[in-house]
Amino acid sequence: MSSAAIGSGTSSVPQQPAPGQGQAQESALWAVLAGASGAEEFCQSWLAIQCRLIPGVTGGVVLLQAGSDSRYMPVAVWPDVRKDMSYLTQVAQRSLMERRGLVQPAAGDGGGYHVAYPVEALGTLHGVVVIDVATRPESELQGVLRQLHWGAASLELLFYRGAVAKEVESRNRLQTVLELVASAAGQERYTASAMSLVTELATRLECDRVSLGFVQAGQIKIDAFSHSAQFKERTNLVRAVAAAMDEAVDQGAPITWPPVAGALPVVSRAHEALSKEQGGGTVCTIPMQVGNAFVGALTLERLAGKPFDEPALELLEALTGLAGPILDTHRREDQWFGKRALIWWKEKLRQLFGPRHAALKFGVLAAALVLAFMTLAKGPFRVSAGTSLEPLVQQAAAAPFNGYVREAPVRAGDLVKAGTLLARLDDRELKLERLKWLSQEEELGKQFRQAMADRNAAQVQIVTAQLDQAKAQVARVEDQLSRTTIVAPFDGVVVSGDLSQQLGAPVERGTVLFEVAPLESFRLVVKVDERDVAYVREGQRGSLLLSAFPDETIGFTVKSVTPVSTPRDGRNFFRVEAQLDRTDPRMRPNMEGVGKVEIDERRYIWIWTRSVIDSLRLMLWQWLP
């Protein structure tokens, strides 16, 4: 809880003239108020004016918060700074706690009242004003409180102006930082970026020299000096600046020599040595942090008698916080590929064998175990390929002659028994043709008998030949009539053919109308990629998983490897035929799946990397002269 401490005053509070009745004395107070350079001087003049405006005031005090401390200390006392005002502490504390104006009767026989009013600006309680007034009517006490309320606006304005000044200073500092970062980011090369930054920074902060360095191999390496494009890395100056940077980076804190009042205690021997080498100048180093690591530093040097103040240090810390990651990324990207890779590996090794980074260590250990297992252990090497089922026997039902489709009760996919009607062709023209030839045969029979009665041998021979021709035509037509009905040759499934939408359509002799295959015998066709066909031999065993029922594995044996390849999707596949160990009633021709041919046992690392290695070999063979 905040507390107010009121004493007899200290010598640090300037003493104002005692209140008087003259116009000259009042004008002097207003002049001091208008030209006050600090909060204490302003408050002392303001309190004297308030006590002159309010009649019957015997004493007053202004308390303000002491920096970041929660205590409130007196900065102005009236009429005499040596007067003990501790009797006003109670009402001051109560007004601060309640954050409102209060009027409290004075303790003792002297009478009077203690009037307090808090000073609040921008939502922050900055202090309180307390005065001791003589006894008066309650209505006049309200006037006293109102006068303090109006007068407190001047004190609030003081804090508003201070806040505005800080805001302007912060914006100016941010603008400067952005301009410095922009001067570095506008360069394409890292060297030019570093030189632009240090030169611009030296000009703006009136430094004799500004240096920039980054950590390499555990030590700082100077990359840029202001106003100097080239420098020798082994000179005493470069060594001294690098040592100062190392000192700041190792401690992870800004270091200034001579030390700034109120700064944290740090080791600054290297900065002291650098200052002595440059004639006793001022040295300041700000480390640059990227993530959780300090990667570099900025060192600034000034002539003696020009120390770095707090605003300059705040600007430098903001600059390194923003420009550090940008410069570090630019520096890494500007290095050649081999060096970047080497740095990356070094960083990973440092994380691997250093503290923390448990996830990385666990991941590397797991990868090492997996690699060792893959290198030493062996497993079954199998060639995977797409498969399809083909029937061992597949019979085609073709059109026996040119005709028209009259009936087709089945189509592809139907199960049929032996003798089941597949299709029937229109036989009306054949029957008419049969009647034609039968009539002609009967007519020729009459002519034959007449020729025999007339004993005409020549006519008998001619009619006999014509009669044989007619009988042959009748036999032909009757044979065609017997084949107008197309039936299934055996029990099976109709693999192809659908004439249900072509009734009455003409068909030519030899056209395949249906294909029928049995269901009890299949051959497996394995489509092996040309890269794997060299491993496949007759007699090898394998396993099949069909897409139709992927929960059952069926074994098979390789029977033949055909030397003919079939291109598909830009690759070549060889046809390998295999015999299934068993069939399933649910199997149908042309079902597809995945088959794996068991070759032998190989190391896992060879099994899982052989495709990549073979591809690289082909690529190298193609490009090598």
The closest alpha carbon to 597, from 508, 497, 526, belongs to 526
Tell me whether residue 108 is exposed, middle or buried, using C-beta atoms within 10 angstroms of its C-beta: 0 to 12, 13 to 18, 19 or more: exposed
The answer to whether 146 and 53 are in contact (CB under 8 A) is: no
pLDDT at 387: 92
Q: Are residues 149 and 214 in the same domain?
A: no
Is the confidence at residue 19, as pLDDT, over 60?
no
Q: Are residues 119 and 229 in the same domain?
A: no
pLDDT at 109: 57
Q: Is residue 538 part of a domain?
A: yes
The answer to whether 87 and 4 are in contact (CB under 8 A) is: no
CA angle 49, 50, 51 (to 5 degrees): 90
Q: Is residue 158 part of a domain?
A: yes
Mean pLDDT, residues 374-398 taken together: 86
Distance CA(64)–CA(126), nearest Å, equals 6
Q: Is residue 179 part of a domain?
A: no
Residue with tokens 């009607």: 421
Is the confidence at residue 527, as pLDDT, over 90?
yes
- For the domain that residue 608 is a member of, what is the CATH number? 2.40.30.170
Mean pLDDT, residues 556-583 taken together: 89
> Would you put residue 15 in left (φ > 0), alpha (ψ -120 to 50) or beta?
beta
Q: Domain limits at 75?
A: 3-165
The answer to whether 81 and 13 are in contact (CB under 8 A) is: yes
Q: Is residue 321 part of a domain?
A: yes
Is the confidence at residue 262, as pLDDT, over 60?
yes
Helices (H), 454-516: 457-482
The answer to whether 404 and 507 are in contact (CB under 8 A) is: yes
Mean pLDDT, residues 307-335 taken together: 83
Q: Is residue 390 part of a domain?
A: no
In a 13 Å sphere around the CA of 182, the CA atoms on its Cβ side amount to 6
Q: Are residues 540 and 592 in the same domain?
A: yes
Tell me whether residue 80 is exposed, middle or buried, using C-beta atoms within 10 angstroms of its C-beta: 0 to 12, 13 to 18, 19 or more: middle
Question: Widest CA span of the chain, in angstroms?
Answer: 185
The pLDDT tens digits for 206-244 are 888 899 989 887 788 888 888 776 666 657 888 899 999
Q: What residue type is 362 in one-letter code? A: F
Is 0.75 surpassed by the pTM of this model? no
Q: Are residues 28 and 153 in the same domain?
A: yes
DSSP tag of 259:
P
pLDDT at 545: 93
Distance CA(574)–CA(528), nearest Å, equals 5
- For the domain that residue 239 is a member of, what is the CATH number? 3.30.450.40
Distance CA(2)–CA(604), nearest Å, equals 73
DSSP tag of 88:
G
Secondary structure class of 246 (helix, strand, coil): helix
The closest alpha carbon to 113, from 82, 81, 148, 80, belongs to 148
Q: Are residues 152 and 39 in the same domain?
A: yes
The pLDDT tens digits for 127-156 are 888 888 888 887 788 888 888 888 777 777
Secondary structure class of 590 (helix, strand, coil): coil
The answer to whether 485 and 420 are in contact (CB under 8 A) is: no
Distance CA(389)–CA(401), nearest Å, equals 33
Bridge partner list, 473 = none
The answer to whether 544 and 552 are in contact (CB under 8 A) is: no
pLDDT at 20: 44
Q: Is residue 357 part of a domain?
A: no
Q: Are residues 558 and 614 in the same domain?
A: yes
What are the backbone angles phi and psi of residue 597, rounded to the nearest 5°? -95, 125
Q: Are residues 160 and 269 in the same domain?
A: no
Distance CA(485)–CA(496), nearest Å, equals 18
pLDDT at 9: 46
CA angle 288, 291, 292 (to 5 degrees): 90
Secondary structure class of 419 (helix, strand, coil): coil
The answer to whether 375 and 582 are in contact (CB under 8 A) is: no
Q: Are residues 503 and 525 in the same domain?
A: no
Is the confidence at residue 436, as pLDDT, over 60?
yes
End-to-end alpha-carbon separation of the chain, Å? Answer: 86
- For the domain that residue 430 is a member of, what is the CATH number? 2.40.50.100
Q: Are residues 110 and 209 in the same domain?
A: no
Distance CA(410)–CA(405), nearest Å, equals 13
Residue with tokens 């000096």: 225
Q: Are residues 583 and 504 in the same domain?
A: no
Q: Is residue 362 part of a domain?
A: no
Is the confidence at residue 491, as pLDDT, over 80?
no
pLDDT at 23: 54
| 118 alpha carbon, distance to own chain's centre | 53
Mark which of 515, 536, 565 sits at the end of a domain.
515
The pLDDT tens digits for 595-614 are 999 999 999 899 898 889 98
CA distance to 181, 271, 607, per residue, from 239 (Å): 27, 12, 57
CA angle 329, 332, 335 (to 5 degrees): 145
The pLDDT tens digits for 343-357 are 778 778 877 888 878
Instruction: Look at the chain and report how many structural domains it folds into.
Output: 4
Q: Are residues 442 and 400 in the same domain?
A: yes
Neighbours of 563 (CB within 10 A): 8
Q: Is residue 345 part of a domain?
A: no
Q: Are residues 537 and 582 in the same domain?
A: yes
